[in-house]
Chains A and B, each alone.
Chain A
């Protein structure tokens, strides 16, 4: 006899059951006894609260907690920058925005898309700095100096991105084509429509070109250096 046979035979012992008349009589007896000892019926509201708490308790299991934590981390890294987008460079939460932007960049695998997103973040950050400095009530010299440095860094990031993307775009222009004149050359075939568009030549939809992007960035920097923060911000807004 194998263990399996024995286990199967043991399963037959499930046939041993109390008689149903005793089960019912005992059930009624128990019901009466517990009713006399303060048992109640759960209200709809209590049932709702209990169900909610039960969900929380079930979710507190280690594996589920870990999965939930991973979900939160992934969600934050992917979408945290959206939640913190309104944070300004002079606010304490701004550091969280920078971290979430970096986290978002690490989730993008396509190099060109990543550069575009980095450029978009840098341009947005630079514009936010101009908005803060354009506020006449903002007079903290130390902060102004810090933000100016930060502005220059962001502008440099945009310029570097343009330079990186420019090379393959120019190479494409050099290649003769036999297609019609309306053909569009782009730095990336998977160009993100929300990202900063850096095309090699002018596109059909009039998106910003590399040369105009460079010009706009230079113009914004020059206006910033002249402390025309509002105007610099308006120029940077054209990059969007």
Chain B
């Protein structure tokens, strides 16, 4: 959904205050985006501890960008955070020499669903869907997985995805269509085999 006028104003205001090195605003940005950035990183690297380390590093890098007065390259703050997240992940693996191998089957950190819902059957369905999608996402191409997470999990709009990935809006739309089709095929194959 395109940004409303109020959102645009809030974004400009936040960026200006960050340029002014306002730590309270920075912490507010952390509160607003830490969960989303963590999730994005988690789907990229597939390990909880690495995702946590990288999330922390991304926010610190963002602060350093602000310190260096280089917070002008993005139209929205959210897009900037995701761009920094992407490059940080690449840099992290280049520096550590590790190969990026994604597996979301992290048995040490199972996903906990909120238990404030009395609909046990619904909860079980959701847990089953979640497990099924989680197992299939790593099988997708990296760019498919990334675009699915950005659009359908973290709710970025086409403009922002285009800015984050450096692809045209048309390409983003095509990729979204293809990635959904690919994931659907994987899920349907899985259902048939059961």
Contact = CB atoms under 8 A, between A and B. Distances in A.
A51 B15 CA distance: 11
Majority DSSP secondary structure for residues of A touching B:
helix
Given A9-B129, A9-B133, A39-B26, A50 B16 contact: yes
B63 to A, nearest CB: 5
Given A9-B133, A15-B113, A42-B20, A34 B63 contact: yes
A206 interface: no
B170 interface: no
A17 B39 contact: yes
A58 to B, nearest CB: 5
B30 A30 contact: yes
Interface residues of A, number: 41
Majority DSSP secondary structure for residues of B touching A:
helix
A10 interface: yes
Contact of B13 (A12, A34, A40, A51): A51
Contacts, number: 123
Contacts of A22: 52
The number of chain B residues touching the other chain, given as a range, is: 35 or more
Contact of A1 (B13, B113, B130, B184): B184
B172 interface: no
Interface stretch (B54-62, B77-85, B95-103): B54-62
A7 interface: yes
Given A6-B183, A13-B153, A42 B129 contact: no
B125 to A, nearest CB: 10
Nearest to A6: B184
A146 interface: no
A27 B113 CA distance: 23
- Which 4 A-B residue pairs are closest in the complex by CB-CB distance? A39-B23, A10-B152, A54-B12, A54-B13
